[in-house]
Amino acid sequence: MAKAEIEPGNCGYHTTVEATADGAQRIVIHVESECKAIQRMAEQLTEVNPYENLSFRRGLPPILQLGADFCSHAACPVPVGIVKAVEVAAGTALPGDVTIRITRD
């Protein structure tokens, strides 16, 4: 299982993602979020084929498409955090933190 704790920034809506390989090229996803939009997205996102979500070569990956469908904020990092958890659960990436620091000069 891979787990992602996502602190998306100014909105303050913490999200936790658990992604578990089921042994049949499927990743089962469980999302808990304080954000209503992410909660609605999570209802549609219970399992995925990880290999459909690893590349932009065949168009927008399904997880990111759901992010576009449900999140009104284009910079929401939650859909990408879900993809990262899926990659780790599938064994296609190593776990590691991702950081974006935003400053104003």
Q: pLDDT at position 24, please?
A: 73
Average pLDDT rounded to a whole number, residues 13-24:
93
Mean residue pLDDT of the chain comes to: 95
Query: Among residues of the chain, what percentage have pLDDT more than 70?
Result: 100
Question: How many angstroms separate the CA atoms of 22 and 31, rounded?
Answer: 16
pTM of the model as a whole = 0.94
* pLDDT tens for each residue of 59-100: 999 999 999 999 999 999 999 999 999 999 999 999 999 999
2-90, CATH topology level:
Sufe protein. Chain: A (3.90.1010)
Q: Where are the domains of the chain?
A: 2-90
Question: How many angstroms separate the CA atoms of 79 and 71, rounded?
Answer: 9
